[in-house]
Amino acid sequence: MAEVALIYPFTNPPRSRSIFRYPPLGLGYIASYLRESGVKVELLDCTFSGIEATVERARGLNPSIVGVYSMFTMREASMRVGRSLRDDCELLVAGGPLPTIDPAPFLDVFDVSVKGEGEETMLEIVNAGVDGDFGSIDGIVFKKGGRSHGRAKSPNPDDLVYTGPRGARARGSRQYVISIGEHRYRDRYFGADPFVGEEIVFRNNSAVWSMNYYGKTLVEDPDSDMIYGFLVKALSEVPMEKPFRGPAKFVLDDWVYLMTVKGVLDEFSGKEEIYFQGELVYRLLFHGGLIS
Ligand code: B12
């Protein structure tokens, strides 16, 4: 079973002597990105197997979300794939160059039309779940009040929700994602000095644990490279029994790192400090715990 099936509806015309074949590069990127985040994905290419056989294969995978690529030459094919799989999945998503410039017509058949690059958007859609709050996802268009059922007339523009452009909300943030089995860890932070961020652990795409942090240097004209360089060394010594930030104490030449925490992984708060030649030069506060 796949959580997500991605379909490329290009077909090779019979007896075509054209040398052109179009590997589904965009869907490949999306599939890799989702897989790295622990999502089960299958990428189905209609080029040589044709649309009917590919649709049958997709049905056999029983995906909850189906994403279909579309561009100018594949408008009809992508709609056909969408209609054929409308009742075989819980959420139908259109994306690619054509939904990017003209998303609304796809909502005759699809639940969500994605504008622009789809990697992060698809992951957010998967994380939101099939009945999720799509209004919080940037770069998409969907119908107010629910999913499409493939039989609707072209939607009235007033009934559509266009979310803001991709990246506007999270501009200036950086993030790291690591997946191991059913768990996925994401650290997203904003700023450099001061900086603020959130670590979050998902199990099977549900958030189960989180930590927030806020840190900054405390001296005039700080040597940020030195301070943050030392911080990285201290953080790499994180102990298994208290995996919050660094160890309780870490010393290197004139530098001292101290971390104190109250509570346990279920619920905790703490701080870390860096001293250079006895002077306090940096502090970070953190807190967090389990999420039900
Ligand atoms: C390289 C290229 C070609 C190559 C084909 C290479 C190939 N393997 O497909 C050649 C030269 C052969 C070609 C031919 C044509 N092309 Co061309 N091509 C491009 C070009 C320059 C890059 C495409 C690409 O690989 N992008 C990189 C990949 C990674 O991005 P992507 O596919 O867009 O996917 C991302 C997003 O779109 C999105 N996404 C994609 N699919 C999905 C699906 C879901 C569910 C989601 C959520 C998101 C999503 O996420 C992906 C990852 O970020 C684009 C212009 C551009 N800068 O994008 C034009 C472009 C795609 N081509 C275009 C056109 C019109 C054509 C032709 C019709 C030209 C002609 N008159 O013959 C033909 C048709 C070919 C066909 N497939 O039928 C138009 C499409 C217009 C449109 N809005 O539909 C574009 C946008 C150029 C333009 N600005 O007009 N093309």
Model confidence pLDDT, tens digit, residues 15-64: 778 887 889 999 999 999 999 888 999 999 999 899 999 999 999 999 99
Q: Are residues 54 and 177 in the same domain?
A: no
Residue with CA at minimum distance from ligand 1 atom 30: 26
Residue 14 inside a domain? The answer is: yes
Residues 158 and 181 in one domain: no
pLDDT mean over 217-224: 92
200: pLDDT confidence band, cut at 50, 70 and 90?
very high
**In a shared domain, residues 97 and 191:** no
Q: Based on the domain organization, do 10 and 143 belong to the same domain?
A: yes
The CA distance from 34 to 22, in Å, is 22
Q: How high is the pLDDT of residue 151?
A: 46
Ligand 1 atom nearest the C-alpha of 121 is 47
Q: How far apart are CA 102 and CA 62, in angstroms?
A: 29
Kindly state the DSSP code that residue 237 receives in the 8-state scheme: T
Domain identity same for 196 and 150:
no
Average pLDDT, rounded, for the chain = 89
Is 33 among the domain residues? yes
Residues 194 and 152 in one domain: no
The response to whether residue 23 sits with its C-beta less than 6 Å from ligand 1 reads yes
Does a structural domain hold residue 264?
yes
Residue 131, domain member (yes or no): yes
**Is the domain of 9 the same as that of 135?**
yes
CA of 60 from ligand 1 middle (Å) equals: 28
Q: Which atom of ligand 1 is nearest to the CA of 93?
A: 45
Q: Which residues pair with 43 in a beta bridge?
A: 6
Share of the chain above pLDDT 90, in %: 66
Residue 230 maps to a domain: yes
Top-ranked range on mean pLDDT: pick from 3-7, 103-107, 148-152, 179-183: 3-7
Q: Does any domain span residue 168?
A: no
Distance 189 CA to ligand 1 centre (A): 32
Give residue 226's domain range: 173-290
Whether cis (ω within 30° of 0) applies to the bond prior to 194 is: yes
Percent of the chain surpassing pLDDT 70: 92
Name the strand (E) or helix (H) holding 120.
Answer: helix 119-128
Number of domains in the chain: 2
Ligand 1 touching residue 97 (CB < 6 A):
yes
- CB within 8 A of 164, min separation 6: which ones? 138, 139
Q: Give me the CATH number covering residue 141.
A: 3.40.50.280
| Predicted local distance difference test score (pLDDT) of residue 174 | 75
* pLDDT tens digits, one per residue of 95-121: 999 999 999 999 999 999 999 999 989
Rg of the chain's alpha carbons, rounded to an integer? 24
- 167 in a structural domain: no
One domain, residues 202 and 87: no
Indicate the residue among 114, 135, 162 that finishes a domain: 162
